[in-house]
Structure formats: C-alpha cells, structure tokens
Structure 1
Amino acid sequence: MSNGSLYTYIQNNIATIEFGHPASNSFPRELLSRLTNSINELSNNNEVHVIILKSEQNKTFCAGASFDELIKISTLEEGKQFFLGFANVINAMRTCSKLIIGRIQGKAVGGGVGLAAACDYCFATVQASIKLSELTIGIGPFVIAPAVKRKIGLAAFSELTLNATSWQNAYWAKEKGLYAEVFDSSKEMDAEVDILANKLSGYNPDALQKMKKELWKGTENWTKLLEEKATISGELVLSNFTKNALQKFKK
C-alpha cells in the first residue's frame, strides 16, 4: 500500500478506474505511472465507450503529489521525472479516445485539481473544496496549469493559485466551470454518475470519439508544453526554500 492501489473494471461498456493511497489519495510516481498506463489501455479497448475516474474512501478525492517522494528528490532529472508523472496522466486523459467522467467526492489539492480539470465532465459533492497550495512550498502548479486554465479560465486560476492558503468551495468550482453538478451526498452524486455514464455508453462510439477530439482541439502541443512545465517544477523543488518548507510540512 505504500505505492497506493489502482483498480480497473469494465461493465456494460463503462470502465471505472479507482485509485487510492493511505496518505489522502496522494500520488507517488509509481501510482501516476499505473494510472497513465490504465488510461492508455482503455483508450484502445473497443469494449469501452466511457470512463469513470474515482478515488477510494469518502473524505479526500486527491491530495496531489506525494510529499514523501518530493522530499527525497535530489537532482534535476529526478524532479523532472516526478512531475512528468502528472504531465503524463494529463496527456493520457487528453488524448484518450474515450470521454472521462470525474467523480469528486471530497477535497482536491494541487494535482488533484489537475485531475478534475482533465476530466471531460465532473460531478462533485459539497465536500469537494479545492486548493492550489503549491506556492506555499516554493513551487507552483505549472504542470496542471494548462488543464486548469482551460477549464476555469485565467482569472479564476490566478485567484486559486495566488490565494494559496485558502480553500474554494464546490459551488465556487461549479460557477467557474470545473464541476458540472454539485450534490449534497455521494449517494445522490453516484446515481447521476451512473445515469450519465449509461447514457453515454449507449451513444454512437464514433460520435463520442469525435466529440472528445473536438473538446480538446487546440491542445496538440501539450506533450511538449507539459514537459517544459515539469522541468520548471523539477528545478524549483530543489530550492532551499522548498526543501525547508517540505520538512516543516512533514513535521
């Protein structure tokens, strides 16, 4: 469990990916790699028409990057490769031939916000507050920036990034376009997730794939772009400011 868990199951042309980690569903590098591979495999599976992305437990959707691994980074290449993990996931979601529904049952921080933004349609509960806290530890949400800005716009992204210690609630996220719908409970949300997934799974798969491409038109340069962003984050994570901030956070 130190590297987390990831399960994929398919039923009625609907694939569900469920990830988890004891540390608030945060992502070590290995789990990011497994998620990327799973999305790529489902993209090529003709039996799958739509994907649901969810996390384990009830409280936190995703706490972003693994702090334990961030602390251990000692070279630029290690830093770049770690942040490429998130870049690869976002690119896999972007280029996936299937529409991806996000089930956001709890708080999302940093990379967790990036995952939600890379989904094509997100359901959330009132507990699904969001925060981009990267500046507080001396880095920034560079890798996820293109995905988040694409979904909520530059002004909202600026507000979320610069006000790095404050949570924005689920209704703020819905107003800005990150979430399509917000529910009082996971039970209500799950019912609507199932309804939409089953509707989409019954539509023309070719039409769904073409619509997916239409939704992501203009992002064709993201493979190179996100690699450049990963390099920026990889450099910053080596700074004394960030090393000290991570140690304080750990304590």
Structure 2
Amino acid sequence: MSEQNGSVNLSIENNIGTIEFFHPKGNSLPGAILRKLAETITSAGDNQDIKVVVIKSRGDGAFCAGASFDELIAIDDYETGKEFFMGFALVLNAMRTCPKLIIVRVHGKTVGGGVGIASAGDYTFAHKDAAVKLSELALGIGPFVVGPAVERKVGKSAFSTMSVDATNWYDSEFAEQKGMFNKVHETTEELDRSVSELAAQLAKSSPEAMRDLKAVLWKGTEDWDLLLEQRAEISGRLVLSDFTKNFIRKFKSKS
C-alpha cells in the first residue's frame, strides 16, 4: 500500500502494539485502509508479544475525516455500497473482539467513521481541539454503522443530538462530558504523555485480568456481527441516492 493511497502500520515496543493509520486526505478511510486496519487490530490481538493496543493517526491535522468521498461517489450498485460500509463494521468488530484493551489517541477533529473508532476505544485520550461530528445524515446516509459504538459510549440522547444535527461540530468538552473521551489534554505533549503512561501501566498488568475486563466492558454487544452488517446494508442502499451523489459532487467542487 503506497503512501499516496494511505497506510496502516503496526509497531511493537515494550509489549505495546501501536497501530497508526494515515491517508493524505485528512486521514480519511477508503475501503482498503478500513480492511487493513481491521486485519491489523485482529493481528495485534493474536500477538502474544502485545499486551495493550494503541490506535492513532498520523500528523497534526484531522484525526480522521471519515469515509472517502472519492470512493463514495464511485459506488454505483448496492453490493459495492454494502461492501464499502462493511469496512467500518469490520473495524468496529475487530476493536470489540480484540482480547487486548485498546487505547485511542485522538489528536484533532474527527468525522463519521473516525467518531466510531474513538467511541470503540476502551480508553480514549483526546486533544482539546478534537471536535467531533456525525455528518452522515447531511450526506443522505445516516450514522448507521458507527451508531451502536457511539450510542454505547454517549447514550441515546447524545447520539440523537449528534446524528440529527449533522452539520454541527461538538467540542471535546461535550465529548468528554458524554463519555466518548475519557480524558482531554491542553497540549499534544500532555496527550502523548498520558497515552504512554497508561499504555506502559497496562503492559505490566495481568493479561488474563485485562481480557476478562474487556469481556465485561463489551457485554451486550454479542450481536454486533449481524447488527453492523444490517446497518451496512442500509448505508449501502442509501449511498446510491441522487441526494447523496449530488451532495458529494457539490462538496468536492468547493474543496
């Protein structure tokens, strides 16, 4: 996978597995990146040299710009649409079923699928500038696949607020108050220090105890394999609408 098409890399140090994803367009998530990210999370979960996983993205701009608009506008049939949105389902289910605790580092603004990744972390650190937005309804799609992960963290009321008012950015204070972010930092240095300190602490903790804690934290999500596939089917159908195609064309013409 070339840098122009994005990348997903796993590094291991002191029993900490750090997964970094990157895409030149705001760390957006095309289908290949989504599947590589899901595979890498699963691989880290199976690796006996890894005791805790950290997920981050590269750079100092956006943490994640969400779905790749280039791919969305190219979708012209239902099966392709479902396959694309299944990429998000695969990532969220990989995070859910990974037997290792996952720390997510959110350094900047995040949209759509990136909000799902932030919400699926077992502990999520964020920078004060890390505003979040569920923009899917504005596109004519709706946050169907990421919805269960976001609602699990922030509750139905806050999820409703974010998903209905789909053009609004919600600041890091909102995300922390609602439980999406566990801790927010003023500077990148403080953010990195906290991520490193917790990861190091967990790397020295009992793997068995952390695995059992992970199972307790995710209790009640056992139906997500089917649920998220059903949600991907909804998005795969809606992405074919003229509304969505026209919205993306207008957006791309302005950018």
Cα deviation code 1:176-221 (max 9, x no counterpart): 0000111111111100111100111101111011111110011000
1:126 counterpart (128, 146, 149): 128
Cα separation, 2, equivalents of 1:18 and 1:127: 20
Cα separation, 2, equivalents of 1:111 and 1:104: 13
Cα deviation code 1:208-238 (max 9, x no counterpart): 1111111001100000000000000000000
1:194-205 matches, cutoff 5 A: 194-205=196-207
Which runs of 5 or more residues in structure 1 are unaligned? none
Q: Residue 50 of structure 2 aligns with which residue?
A: 48
Q: Residue 208 of structure 1 aligns with which residue?
A: 210
Cα separation, 1, equivalents of 2:145 and 2:118: 14
Shift of 1:2: 3.5
Paired residue secondary structure (2:5): coil
2:61 counterpart (59, 63, 80): 59
Cα separation, 2, equivalents of 1:244 and 1:236: 13
1:175 counterpart (168, 174, 177): 177
* TM-score, normalised via structure 1 length: 0.99
2:238 counterpart (226, 232, 236): 236
Shift of 1:6: 1.1
Paired residue secondary structure (1:164): coil
Number of corresponding residues = 251
Shift of 1:52: 0.4
Runs of 4+ in structure 1 off by over 4 angstroms are none
Cα separation, 2, equivalents of 1:45 and 1:57: 27
2:156 counterpart (151, 154, 157): 154
Shift of 1:3: 2.2
Cα separation, 1, equivalents of 2:84 and 2:186: 35
Question: Is 2:25 the partner of 1:23?
Answer: yes
Paired residue secondary structure (1:23): coil
Cα deviation code 1:36-76 (max 9, x no counterpart): 11011111111111000000001110011000000000000
1:224–1:234 CA distance, 2 compared to 1 (3 A): same
Question: Is 2:33 the partner of 1:10?
Answer: no
1:74-89 matches, cutoff 5 A: 74-89=76-91
* TM-score, normalised via structure 2 length: 0.97
Once the two structures are aligned, what percentage of the paired residues are identical? 52
User: Cα RMSD over matched residues?
Assistant: 0.6
Cα separation, 2, equivalents of 1:2 and 1:228: 32
